[in-house]
Amino acid sequence: MELWFTERETDNIKVQWKVNKTLYSKKSPFQQVDIVEFAEFGRALVLDGIIQTTIFDEFIYHEMIAHVPLFMHQRPERVLVIGGGDGGTVREVLKHPTIKQVDLVEIDKEVVESCKKYLPELAGCLADPRVNVYYVDGFKFVQEKEEYYDVIIIDSSDPIGPAVGLFAKPFYENVYKALKSDGLFTAQTESPLFNSQLIRDVYSGIKEIFPIYYLYTAQVPTYSIGPWTFTLGSKKYKREDARHYDENMKLKYFNKEIQRSTFDLPQYIKELL
Ligand code: SAM
């Protein structure tokens, strides 16, 4: 018998994925955690019925959330990743030779433990001695830091459940405080087609806190049928300050052409802001 997983995108759209098998399923204190193997996109992390990442296209999201801010910073050494318990973002951060410390703040230990076992291509990097993993709420964690990080990456789940606070202005004020005087941050900010109000709210909040701010996009087939946004806030560095992409990194999505055009936006997204 065929097994199909249904993801609800909006009240009117559901997308079905054929499943080979379920590898792991557990209710944690925060959410339902499942690791499944899809017939087309391979192994995937699913939280509360929403697909977070798949082996097939995770590189697009993780390269874009990590390398855009890291190349914009002139010498990133100390990085904070909030959420991101699958390890994909940390893996990309560690590709930068200047990195000395990566703090991963994931609220749910179950996510990290299950990804270490079933998605080692992503979570294997968490054994690197430069990585510290904290199982606490990212909102609280940044409240206690001052002028500490070069780059902060907010790789959160959708703005429901434990991640709600990570999309609100008080959180971005604390992110500002936790960054050094030349620090910058990037957050995943959902679909421009289905979450336009959220993107507008987040962007206008960041605009009031950071002197430099940009929105950028990537096409991630796994997420809400394609286009995805990221919002970046910076204290000092602008897009023209970015160091050039190092071809020796041999990334799969990010390259010098993508870097040059990162902040070019389609007209409908410009108008949305
Ligand atoms: N790439 C994914 C996406 O855009 O769908 C997100 C990655 S997923 C691993 C995000 C993680 O954020 C989840 O594991 C979740 O447990 C964690 N998270 C949610 N709220 C959090 C919070 N307040 N503090 C820290 N981690 C949080």
Give the pLDDT confidence of 207-240 residue by residue, as tens digits.
999 999 999 999 999 997 889 999 999 999 999 9
- In the reported structure, the alpha carbon of residue 119 is separated from the centroid of ligand 1 by a whole-number distance in angstroms of 16
202 lines ligand 1 (CB under 6 A): no
Query: Each residue of 45-93: pLDDT tens digit?
Result: 999 999 999 999 999 999 999 999 999 999 999 999 999 999 999 999 9
Is residue 22 predicted with pLDDT exceeding 90?
Answer: yes
Q: What is the pLDDT of residue 179?
A: 98
Is residue 143 predicted with pLDDT exceeding 90?
Answer: yes
- In the reported structure, the alpha carbon of residue 223 is separated from the centroid of ligand 1 by a whole-number distance in angstroms of 14
Q: Which residues are catalytic?
A: 155
Domains and CATH numbers, the chain: 4-54 (2.30.140.10), 57-271 (3.40.50.150)
Region 167-195: mean pLDDT is 97
72 lines ligand 1 (CB under 6 A): no
Average per-residue pLDDT for the chain: 96
**E-state strands within the chain:** 3-10, 13-27, 32-38, 42-47, 50-54, 78-83, 101-105, 131-134, 149-155, 179-188, 212-220, 226-234
3-class SS letters over 129-188: CCEEEECCCHHHHHHCCCCCEEEEEEECCCCCHHHHHHHCHHHHHHHHHHEEEEEEEEEE
Task: Please give the Cα distance from 134 to 106 (Å, whole number).
Answer: 6
27 residue type, one letter: K
Pocket test for ligand 1, best of 28, 118, 156 (most atoms within 8 A of CB): 156
Of all atoms in ligand 1, which is nearest to the CA of residue 62?
1
Q: What is the pLDDT of residue 44?
A: 98
Q: What is the pLDDT of residue 161?
A: 85
In this structure, what token pair is assigned to residue 231?
Answer: 């919002």
84 lines ligand 1 (CB under 6 A): yes
Q: For a pLDDT cut of 90, what percent of the chain falls above it?
A: 95
Q: What is the pLDDT of residue 86?
A: 98
DSSP code for 248: G
Query: How far does the chain reach from its first CA to its final CA, in angstroms?
Result: 47
Pocket test for ligand 1, best of 89, 106, 154, 222 (most atoms within 8 A of CB): 106
Query: Does 156 count as an annotated binding residue?
Result: yes
- The answer to whether residues 128 and 101 touch, using CB atoms and an 8 Å cutoff, is no
Q: How many residues does the chain have?
A: 273
The 3-state DSSP class for residue 124 equals: helix
Q: What is the pLDDT of residue 224?
A: 76
Residue reference for tokens 């904290």: 134
pTM of the model: 0.97
Is residue 177 predicted with pLDDT exceeding 90?
Answer: yes
Confidence of residue 124 (pLDDT cuts 50, 70, 90): very high
Q: What is the pLDDT of residue 125?
A: 98
88 lines ligand 1 (CB under 6 A): no
Task: Please give the Cα distance from 19 to 114 (Å, whole number).
Answer: 18
Is residue 160 predicted with pLDDT exceeding 90?
Answer: no
111 lines ligand 1 (CB under 6 A): yes
Q: What is the pLDDT of residue 1?
A: 86
Query: Does 108 count as an annotated binding residue?
Result: no
Query: Does 201 count as an annotated binding residue?
Result: no
Nearest-CA residue for ligand 1 atom 27 is: 83
Confidence of residue 104 (pLDDT cuts 50, 70, 90): very high
Task: Please give the Cα distance from 220 to 226 (Å, whole number).
Answer: 5
Q: What is the pLDDT of residue 201?
A: 95
